[in-house]
Amino acid sequence: MDDSRLFERTVSSAIQYSGPVFDVYSDTVELCNKKTARRDYLKHRGAVAVVPLTDNGGVIIERQFRYPQQRVMTEIPAGKLEAFDTDPLDAAKRELKEEIGVTAKEFVPLGIYIPSPAILSERIYVYLARGLSYGNAHPDEDEFLDYRETPLCQLIDMIMNDQISDGKTVFGLFKAAEYLRRQEREANG
């Protein structure tokens, strides 16, 4: 499939706001029909998220208050990349250790979640972590987290019952469940 006719060419780009987490841009683009249009978006350096799978099939999840939503949400461990060129795997290892005090022997890439492609450049690199070892958490000074182990099947039920609605968590848990299902099917022939 040739998508080249769908591409938009940047004519001009202007930063409207620069902050510690994202920058806001207003760009003029040339469309495939040679007309121009305006594209406003947030440029974000990206993030990682990890599904920490315990030896008995549970997942360590977090609960934390999310100010824009004005509620406590259930999520998998996650965090921003330090810079645009940060290695996502290194960031995943860092976030897992900082947020829940866990290291892992194995990290399996589950894919890239794009939360809002029309207005946000953020890409979230999602991993399954296995072979967990436990230590002390060191969350950021503005992070207050509760975490616990919950069976993966129960978390999938929570998604289906709208008890978990965070996009990266839904993506990560479903991808992890399908990855494990396929691994089991291959093992059983």
- Return the active site residues: 141
Amino acid at 175: K
Angle at the Cα of 21 (from 12 to 14), degrees rounded to 5? 15
Query: Which residues, in sequence order, are bridge partners of residue 158?
Result: none
Residue 51, Cβ density class (10 Å: 0-12 exposed, 13-18 middle, ≥19 buried): buried
Nearest CA-CA partner of 100 in 53, 162, 157: 53
The DSSP result for 72-99, as a single string, is EEEE--EEE-SSTT--HHHHHHHHHHHH
Question: Crossing angle of helices 167-187/152-160, nearest 10°?
Answer: 130
φ and ψ at 131, to 5 degrees?
Answer: 70, 55
Token duo for residue 173:
């848990």
